[in-house]
Structures are given as structure tokens and as C-alpha cells.
Structure 1
Amino acid sequence: MHSQEIPVAPKAAGSVQRNRSSDEFKGSPLGKLTVASEKPWVIVAETVLVPAFALLLGYLVNRPDPLWINADFPWAWFAPMMIALRYGPIAGLFSAGVLLLGWTGFNRQDFSQFPQQYFLGGLIMVMIVGEVSSVWRTHLRRARTARHYQDQRMEQLVRQHYLLRLSHDQLEQQLIGQPVSMRDALHQLRDLKGTTSDAQTLLNLLSQFCQINVASIVPFHNGNLSDQSIAQIGGARSINLDDALVQQALATRSLCHISRSLKDGQNTSYVVAAPMLDLSDEMYGMLIVEEMPFFALQEETLQTINLLLGDYTDSIAANNLAQPLLQAHPECPPQFAFELQRMEHVLKSSQLPSIVLALQLSPKAIASDMPQFIMRMERMLDQSWLFEGSEKSVLAILMPLGSSASSEGFLNRLSARLEQRGLHSIEEAGIVPHTLSIQKNGAMSVLDEIVRIAHA
């Protein structure tokens, strides 16, 4: 069997590529104009100085009429319009007030010739432009939130893909007497909650799959690595946080190893330093490897370390976020509760709705394997939970970033599939649909309603 090169950090590579494209756009002159600052003093400074510069320019170019009131086009209004485009109608109105102050300064001896039409038309234009800007900024914020969620799910799918590929390779490379399989290891990782004993279990799995001889796991608290390890293997020594490899891993927030990562002239006591990051890029700790066989220091081994650490930290993040729901409903799958809770956070932050389609299944539907038939129709982002009640069961399908149209489209596709099986309606198949909106109910209320439907 020949091995293929696998990138050590696909997430980091994708992020670098996206940031590079964004930086190229922001580096252009027009791109810089679209980048609005979030600092209050910068917004105030632009709101005042931009129209002031327009007044100064008009005074130098057209001294008799610096505001271009009698010109064919009111060029001075470009300044408030630009501010309204960048920061909205309120900032645009304040910028227009600077023009008004400028007019009073130029005409302080005679206010009888106040240009009412000039300022009225300009204010209306600034209000319209600012309102359009506010609407589009809201759309962009929601789009960025949706894209961030989809990027996280894509990253999760990439990790799962690599884990699947590596698990097949491990079946060919490991000895017949391997104590656990990759699937068993992943199952153990997803049940861990981040305690000290869990960290030791993770380190033992890494030792088995990556041939690590001496290593430690150190926690990350309050923006700093601890110098005391919470898990060790092979008699690891005390941790040197000033080591060049450890510092480089902290700076880059990615796996670093001795063969490629260090610059010329730098020395290190370690072989591998790998930050433990979840999908939200939050750091939980760092794996520091002191000894491992030279032939094991290859791309596939480093990728396995990255993916096992990522799966461990993702499990901790999911358990922490979904803990209130799991305490109230321990029968709910952790992944379903995690996605449900995360969609409620997305709703509160960006007003992006999600929906849960609860399908009440009769004993007839259960006997005909209807749950498995329906779950094969799920979209890639959907999460499902089959809850078995005393007499009836409920198949809950979470549709992230979906609305009532998403559930209607799913039910229409289900009806079409059932007709192919000789069933003329959903009710004939023993299915009663219920649409539960997270926007109206909240995550906890959705789970309560699913349980109520099952026992109805």
C-alpha cells in the first residue's frame, strides 16, 4: 500500500486562503472605502472631518459658493452621503449638520437667504442612502452568521472524512492484536467531558494510534498555558513553556513539529506541540510530545493527532453547550441537543430562524421501518432524533437555518416518496407532522413539546 500526503491542518489552510482573498480585496482603494470602523472615536472623527474637508475643498475651489448651492450639482453632499453609506442614517444626519454649520459660518451676516430646497433635498437623499445602507448591513451580518455556521459544519464534515479515511488505513497498518479500533476510539472520545481522567484516556489513545512514547497534556486557562500537566505518559518531565516549539504552536494556533516548523538556529526539547482547538477556535490545552519513533513522524501520524484532538475538544464543547438540555432530557442525543442549542444562539445573535419537524409515528409506521426510510431523506445539515414513547414514537428532524417552507418542502418530498410505495398520503402511512419553531418556543420548549407529542 502506498501512502498519500495529507495536509496537516486543512482548517488552517482553508482559513488562510479565505483571509488572503479578503486581504486582497481590502488592499484595493475601493475595498478600503467599504471597510467601516467599529471604534466610536473613528466614527465621530469621520462624521465631522469628512464634511469639514468638503467645506474646505469647496472654499478653495469655489470661494463665492463653497457649498455649490447655485451649481448644476450639489457636490458638497457627497460627504454626508458617503458617511451615511458607511455608518447609517444617524451618522449621515450629523454629517449634514456639519454642512449646515458651515453654511451659517459662511453667511453669518445674513441668514435671510437660507437655501431650504438645497438642505431639504440633501437631507432626504442622506436619509434614503443611510436607510439602504442599514438594511444591507443587516443582510450582510445575517449572511456572515449563516456562512460561519456552514463553515463550521463543513469543517466538521472534513474532519469526519479524514477520520474515515485514516480509520481504513489503520486497519491495514496496525497489528492484528490492536486492542481497540479507530471507531472504538472515536466512540470513547465522544463520551468524554474534559476531566483529568478523560485527558489521560485521550493521551492513552494517542499513544496507541500515533506511537507516542513520552508526552503530556497541559491545560489552557485565562489566556495562558499552565506549567502543570493534567495527563502524562512515559514519565514526562516538567514542561518548559518558553520552549521555541511551544511558543510557535501558541503563536500559530496550529500543530508544529520539529522537522519543519522551527526556524534556523532555534532549539527545542520537544518533537510535537499541538494546540487543542474546537470548531470555534477556542483553546482547551496543548499536547506536548517529547519522544516518538522517527519513522512515526510523518504526515498521516500528525494528521491523526490533529483529528483526534479536534474530535475530543469538539465533544467537550458540545457537551458543555448542550448540558442544560441533556440534564432535563437525558434521552436526547448529545449531538441533537448541541445543534438545537447552537441554533437558538444563532437566532438570538442574528435573527436567523431554524425549525424542528416532529413526525408522530404510529406502531404501523414503526413496523414498516418508516423512521429509517425518512432519515434517508434528510439534508446534509439536518439532525434527527427518534424518541420512543409509551404508545407512539416521534422522529424529530432539526433543520438548521430553515423556515416553515423547509418543512413543507420536506413533507412534499416525503409524500412523493410514499406514493411510489403505494401510499396515497402521509396520514395513510401513520405519520402526523408537527412543525416546531425555535423562534417561538426556544430549545428547551421544543424538547418538551417532542416528549409531549410522543406521550399524547
Structure 2
Amino acid sequence: MRRSQPLGNLGRWGKRVAPAVTSPFALLEVLNLTLIAVLIAWRLRPGDPLLLSTQFPWLWLVTLIGALRYGSLAGAVSGALLIVAWHVLCGPAFGPFPMAHFAGGMTMALVAGHFCDIWSHRAKRSQGINAYYSDRLVAITHNHYLLRVSHERLERDLLARPLTLRDALTRLRDLTVRRSADAQGAPGGLPNAQAMLEFAALTCQIEVASMFAVKGGRLVSTPIARVGEGFEPDADDPLIRDCIQEGALAHVKADDATADGSPYLACAPLLDADGTLLCVLIVRRMPFLALNHDNLQLLLVLLAYYAHGVAHQPLVAGVRASVPQAPYDFALELGRLARLKRASGIESSLVALSFPRGARGDSLFEQTVRQRRALDALWTMSTPRTQIAIALMPITDEHGIDGYLMRVEALLRQQYDVDFQSGHIAVHTARIDAETPGDGLRKLMERCVDHA
């Protein structure tokens, strides 16, 4: 039995020492620690329970730790508790209230808490940016692997395939976007699962297989989709059990004795964007030559590609509800950046350049399209009078837009001795709307059309 190893929890201890999110229990923790410190000091020195006569204000060290750990609010609460403790344990019998001592300690706590608040915000912003880049990296990795596999398969059996692998993947992606009438209530929230399984069976030469939903760590006996003869899964089969427990691909090997009695050849998981196991694809029969590592890895990538499409479907649908003609990749990136702005407040922008039709206008348009940044998503449209290029610029504010426009204008001036005004090039910009990104894109397109 062969399995892939999941990633370990690398940041477990760091999250315990410095929590990323302040919960209601944080204030309770700060209060308890401060109260325990006061009780210990009172127990050790009943005559000076707040250690006011010592050379170092030790109790304020607890307040400082709380402020650095949870922010200025926690530090203020801890300092207020020390003030209450002075009135309860000391009072007027110990002399006047030490205003300078407590004012200095409270100032120290607020400064440390302010430091924590600022860097927590910066860390959250960096995490949002890194999450976006990680999402893009995963998509690029999948596309790179599919590209490599497609070239290898084209060399072997292109003539035996009704479609190229690229066309088939496009159809697979469309299955997650175009929800048919029976896909609205699809089990497990997987639209067009039957069509997806038929495509995977055609690509990976699978003869008999079924997809079963997983609920509570157990298989549902009713299949979501199947090809070939139907069968009832054996929940205690070692391949199925290993696939569910590990969330990884499991298949038979010639030197593996644990799966000798299994009637199945492979079990592949289908995971959502959060890594939750949605269903398991059980392969019961396929040609002997097709049972190899590369083919099974391709099957796993196809399932991941489909799962990512299902996860991204709400983002694409939200944009296409306002702009139905928006390309899939452009709508997906726009939805991702709108989600990033909602989560972290990071601005991204849209820039539309409208070029007049004609020999010179077409040359300017083509030169501008070739100069787009690698991270930007570009959508080009044509009308009888104009050609429009809309650039989606991730993590770019007004200053970034100005730099981009200056670079494009300098290039056109260098190549064609024209600028935006002399070339009759209209420039329209807009920020990405965090709540309704599709409406913002539609309004930008209307501005371009009205100008033309």
C-alpha cells in the first residue's frame, strides 16, 4: 500500500506562545496571571503586597508580558487590576496613592501594547499577502504538472484521444462553473460529479470506479457517481481505511502484503480548499499498464483541479453575475483579490486602457498588451470603434497605478513618439470593490464604452 505524507503542523508551538488572534479568553488569562502575581507578592511580603519598595517594579513585568502578548487593551486591563489591588490591599493606611509609580507602569504597558497592535496588524497583512501568493503558487504548480504530463501523453496516445488534454481540462473546469439542473442538489456539494468521473476515467483509462461521500470519517454506501458496474464499498478494506485516515492516495504494490486481499486497485481522496475530505474515488478495475505511478498521480491532480474549481466557483459566479462575458481566469483573480481585501484590507486595482481602432491604434494596443506585468491578469475586448485592455493589478494602490501608467506611456513615447493624449488613449482606473467586485468591473466597462 502506497501513501503520500501530509504536511506537518509546523507552527503549533509558535501559535501557543504568541497567538495570532485575541480571543475572549485572552483577557481572562491576563486577569488570572495578574491576580496570581499579586497574591504571590502579598503572600511573600504582606507589608508590601505590590512590591512598591523594591528596586524594580516586578508586578508590572506581568502587565508588560500581557501587553506584548495580546495588545494595549490587555495591558490596560492588567494595569487597572493593579490599581484595584492597591486600593484593596494597601489603601490610605500605606500612605498617599503612588501616582508616579502607576502612571509610569501604565504608560509602559500602553507603549508595549501599541507595539503589539501595530505588528499584529502588519503580520496579518503579510499573512494575507502570503496566502494570496500561496494560492497562486498552487495553481501554477498544478498547471505546470499538467503541462508536463500533457506533453508526455501526447507523444504516446494523442491519436487515441477524442480531445487534447488542454481542451479536456477546460471542459473539466467548466463543469464546476456551469451548474446543470441536477447538479444544484448534488451530494456533497459536488456539481456534475458524474461528468467529472467520466472524464477522469477516459483520461486515466479507468474501467470500473465509484465516488463515495465521507461523513464523520465513514463512507456513505450510496455512490455519488460511478463508471462501469456498481459495487458496495467495504469500509474495513485497508486501502479505503488508509485513504480516509491519511487523506492521501493509496494503491496496491507488488511488494505490499497488507492489501493482498483487497478487491480495489486504488483509492484517491477529494479534498476541499481547507483540506477536509469530501469523498473518495475507489478504482476497482483498470488496465494493467495503466496502473502506474504517473497515471495515478495524474488522477490525483485531476481530482485536486476539480476540487479547486468547486472551491473557486462562488468567486467566479459572483463576478460573472454582473459581467457574464468575463473570462474564467480573470473572474477568479478578481474574486480572490476582493476576498483578500475583505480579509486584510489590502487594496488592488483595475486599469482600463481604451485604444481607437486603426493601424496606429492597433499597434499601440498590441505593444501595451505585451508589456503587462507577470502577476497581472489581462482581459482584452474589441468593439467596432475601440480596443480595450483591462489589467487587474494585485496589491496595487494609486501609487502603483501611477507607476504603471508612467511606464506604459514612456514605452509608447520611446517606440512610437506618442503619449496617451496624442494617441487618443483613454485611461480609466478603479479600486476593487470588496463586496461586489463584479459591479465595479461592470461600471469600469461602462465608462470605457461611454468614452468610446
Question: Normalised by the shorter chain, which TM-score bucket?
Answer: 0.7 to 0.9
- The one-letter code sitting in structure 2 at the alignment partner of 1:380 is A
- The one-letter code sitting in structure 2 at the alignment partner of 1:157 is I
Provide, for residues 191-248 of structure 1, a one-character-per-residue CA deviation record: whole Å limited to 9, x for no partner.
Answer: 1136378323322222222221211123467987543223211213123445443343
1: CA distance between counterparts of 2:363 and 2:382? 14
- The one-letter code sitting in structure 1 at the alignment partner of 2:157 is Q
Match of 2:402 in 1: 408
Q: After TM superposition, give the deviation of residue 275 of structure 1 in Å.
A: 2.1
Q: Does 1:76 align with 2:59?
A: yes
Q: Where do 5+ consecutive residues of structure 1 fail to align?
A: 1-6
Of residues 212, 232, 246 in structure 2, which corresponds to 1:252? 246
Provide, for residues 246-266 of structure 1, a one-character-per-residue CA deviation record: whole Å limited to 9, x for no partner.
Answer: 343233333222339999589
- CA shift in 2, pair 1:260/1:354, >3 Å: farther
Provide, for residues 388-416 of structure 1, a one-character-per-residue CA deviation record: whole Å limited to 9, x for no partner.
Answer: 34532321111122212222222222123
Q: Does 1:207 align with 2:201?
A: yes
Provide, for residues 308-334 of structure 1, a one-character-per-residue CA deviation record: whole Å limited to 9, x for no partner.
Answer: 112222233333322233133221112
Q: Does 1:145 align with 2:139?
A: no
Match of 1:94 in 2: 77
Secondary structure, in 3 states, of the residue corresponding to 1:180? Answer: coil
2: CA distance between counterparts of 1:262 and 1:76? 62
Provide, for residues 320-368 of structure 1, a one-character-per-residue CA deviation record: whole Å limited to 9, x for no partner.
Answer: 3222331332211122122212222221221111101111121137853
Of residues 83, 102, 106 in structure 1, which corresponds to 2:89? 106
- CA shift in 2, pair 1:93/1:223, >3 Å: farther
* Structure 1, 64-73 or 139-148: larger mean CA deviation: 64-73
Match of 1:277 in 2: 271
Q: After TM superposition, give the deviation of residue 73 of structure 1 in Å.
A: 2.3
Secondary structure, in 3 states, of the residue corresponding to 2:128? Answer: helix
1: CA distance between counterparts of 2:428 and 2:298? 42
Q: Does 1:288 align with 2:271?
A: no
- The one-letter code sitting in structure 2 at the alignment partner of 1:249 is C
Q: Does 1:135 align with 2:118?
A: yes
Of residues 230, 237, 243 in structure 2, which corresponds to 1:236? 230
- The one-letter code sitting in structure 1 at the alignment partner of 2:385 is E
Match of 1:3 in 2: none
Whether the aligned pair in 1 keeps the contact of 2:433 and 2:440 (CA below 8 Å) is no
CA RMSD of aligned residues (A): 3.2
Whether the aligned pair in 2 keeps the contact of 1:371 and 1:386 (CA below 8 Å) is no
Whether the aligned pair in 1 keeps the contact of 2:270 and 2:279 (CA below 8 Å) is yes
Whether the aligned pair in 1 keeps the contact of 2:211 and 2:280 (CA below 8 Å) is yes
Q: Does 1:125 align with 2:108?
A: yes
1: CA distance between counterparts of 2:218 and 2:125? 33
Whether the aligned pair in 1 keeps the contact of 2:267 and 2:281 (CA below 8 Å) is yes
Match of 1:345 in 2: 339
Secondary structure, in 3 states, of the residue corresponding to 1:122? Answer: helix
Match of 2:438 in 1: 444
Q: After TM superposition, give the deviation of residue 111 of structure 1 in Å.
A: 5.4
- CA shift in 2, pair 1:72/1:112, >3 Å: closer
2: CA distance between counterparts of 1:220 and 1:431? 56
Q: After TM superposition, give the deviation of residue 279 of structure 1 in Å.
A: 4.5
1: CA distance between counterparts of 2:266 and 2:66? 50
Match of 2:175 in 1: 192
- CA shift in 2, pair 1:430/1:161, >3 Å: farther
2: CA distance between counterparts of 1:260 and 1:251? 22
Q: Does 1:33 align with 2:10?
A: no
2: CA distance between counterparts of 1:361 and 1:280? 43
1: CA distance between counterparts of 2:239 and 2:255? 8
Q: After TM superposition, give the deviation of residue 167 of structure 1 in Å.
A: 0.4
- The one-letter code sitting in structure 1 at the alignment partner of 2:311 is A
Provide, for residues 262-318 of structure 1, a one-character-per-residue CA deviation record: whole Å limited to 9, x for no partner.
Answer: 995896442222222355546553322112234433221122112211222223333
Whether the aligned pair in 1 keeps the contact of 2:268 and 2:281 (CA below 8 Å) is yes
- CA shift in 2, pair 1:382/1:102, >3 Å: same
- CA shift in 2, pair 1:153/1:224, >3 Å: farther
Q: Does 1:385 align with 2:373?
A: no
1: CA distance between counterparts of 2:275 and 2:391? 28
Q: After TM superposition, give the deviation of residue 122 of structure 1 in Å.
A: 0.9
- CA shift in 2, pair 1:440/1:165, >3 Å: closer
- CA shift in 2, pair 1:250/1:401, >3 Å: farther
2: CA distance between counterparts of 1:222 and 1:431? 59
- CA shift in 2, pair 1:416/1:8, >3 Å: farther
2: CA distance between counterparts of 1:397 and 1:261? 54
Q: Where do 5+ consecutive residues of structure 2 fail to align?
A: none
- CA shift in 2, pair 1:351/1:113, >3 Å: same
2: CA distance between counterparts of 1:434 and 1:81? 50
* Structure 1, 395-404 or 287-296: larger mean CA deviation: 287-296
Q: After TM superposition, give the deviation of residue 423 of structure 1 in Å.
A: 2.6
Whether the aligned pair in 2 keeps the contact of 1:387 and 1:454 (CA below 8 Å) is no
- CA shift in 2, pair 1:303/1:376, >3 Å: farther
Q: After TM superposition, give the deviation of residue 36 of structure 1 in Å.
A: 6.1
* Structure 1, 270-279 or 146-155: larger mean CA deviation: 270-279
- The one-letter code sitting in structure 2 at the alignment partner of 1:418 is L
- CA shift in 2, pair 1:52/1:320, >3 Å: closer
Provide, for residues 87-114 of structure 1, a one-character-per-residue CA deviation record: whole Å limited to 9, x for no partner.
Answer: 1222212212332233234324615432
Whether the aligned pair in 1 keeps the contact of 2:172 and 2:306 (CA below 8 Å) is yes
Question: How many matched pairs?
Answer: 438
Q: After TM superposition, give the deviation of residue 189 of structure 1 in Å.
A: 0.9
Provide, for residues 123-146 of structure 1, a one-character-per-residue CA deviation record: whole Å limited to 9, x for no partner.
Answer: 111112112211211111111111
